[in-house]
Amino acid sequence: MMNWPLVAVECCNCHTLFAMTQEMHNRRHRDHKLFYCPQGHSQHFTGKTDDERSIARLQKELATANSNHSYWKRKAESAISCGETKKRKLANARGQITKLRKKYEPEDVSEEQ
């Protein structure tokens, strides 16, 4: 004699109480496929399993992480670009200062005697 653990299930249509093996009950919870009561009414489990809820939560966390990564990547690229722009402006300003010095400062004229 085999010992199969049974789970009591109530039909959602006729409310007949019937049993199915624990293994079949778990499988139908996972795959959401149809099963039938002894009166022939089809039914299925609609709720998400723990695994499905975990997958959905992890997918949401991954999407958030990807979004945050994209945001911070854009911020870093913007900061780099801004730093490069400031370097170019600084070099330009130094060039202008040098140009003005040459224009307005007298050159060293050494008088030869």
Per residue in 7-56, pLDDT (tens digit) is 999 999 999 999 999 999 999 988 999 999 999 999 998 888 888 899 99
The per-residue pLDDT for range 75-102, each reduced to its tens digit, is 888 888 888 888 888 888 888 888 888 8
3-state SS assignment for residue 18: strand
DSSP 21: E
Query: CB neighbours (10 Å) of residue 45?
Result: 16
Domain ranges across the chain: 6-43
Q: What distances in angstroms separate CA 47 from CA 35, 56, 65, 80, 82, one per listed residue?
A: 15, 13, 27, 49, 51
The string of DSSP codes covering 57-109 is HHHHHHHHHHHHHHHHHHHHHHHHHHHHHHHHHHHHHHHHHHHHHHHHSPP--
CB within 8 A of 39, min separation 6: which ones?
Answer: 11, 13, 14, 16
110 pLDDT band, cuts 50/70/90, is low
DSSP 25: H
* Whether this model's pTM surpasses 0.75: no
3-state SS assignment for residue 40: coil
